[in-house]
Amino acid sequence: MYYKFSGFTQRLTGVVSSSAYNPQGLRSNIPSEPPTTFFATPTKLVSESNAAVEYMGANKVPDLQRLFQASEEIPVHLKRGVSDRLLYRTTMALTVGGALYCLVALYIAAQPKNK
């Protein structure tokens, strides 16, 4: 007699041996290894084949990982150099300029209307 724990009734129920250990997808009489595949054209290394083998571009993540893990103490938002600095400076200029413009606009808006 084999037993299975039913998660639904929270009890052990007796089952036949075939369902006692029956993981999803495991079917009997089917070999667990697929038949050996062979190709008309033998497998080539990606480095030997042309760029058409890559689907939508090559993997640049390892290079970027090396770049960003270089040990200079530059903060992450500036670590890519000139383009980061340019964008940061533009953003900061707009921030400071915008904050000042806002204060001026609010000061003007707070003035009473002169009849």
Partner 1 sequence: MAHQAHAYHMVDPSPWPLTGAIAALLMTSGLAIWFHFHSTTLMTLGLILLLLTMYQWWRDIIREGTFQGHHTPPVQKGLRYGMILFITSEVFFFLGFFWAFYHSSLAPTPELGGCWPPTGITPLDPFEVPLLNTAVLLASGVTVTWAHHSIMEGERKQAIQSLALTILLGLYFTALQAMEYYEAPFTIADGVYGSTFFVATGFHGLHVIIGSTFLAVCLLRQIQYHFTSEHHFGFEAAAWYWHFVDVVWLFLYVSIYWWGS
**Which residues here bind partner 1, judged by CB under 8 A?**
55-57, 59-61, 64-65, 67-69, 71, 73, 75-77, 79, 87-88, 90-92, 94-95, 98-99, 101-102, 105-106, 109
**Does residue 84 contact residue 91 with C-beta atoms inside 8 Å?**
no
Q: How far is the CB of 10 from partner 1 (least distance, A)?
A: 28
Closest to 80 measured CA to CA, from 92, 61, 67? 67
Q: How far is the CB of 73 from partner 1 (least distance, A)?
A: 8
**Does residue 43 contact residue 36 with C-beta atoms inside 8 Å?**
no
**Does residue 31 contact residue 43 with C-beta atoms inside 8 Å?**
no
Q: Tell me if residue 13 falls in helix, strand or coil.
A: strand
CA distance 93 to 79: 20
Pick the closer one to partner 1 by CB: 26 or 110. 110
Q: How far is the CB of 38 from partner 1 (least distance, A)?
A: 23
Q: How far is the CB of 64 from partner 1 (least distance, A)?
A: 5
Pick the closer one to partner 1 by CB: 12 or 102. 102
CA distance 52 to 46: 10
Pick the closer one to partner 1 by CB: 12 or 103. 103
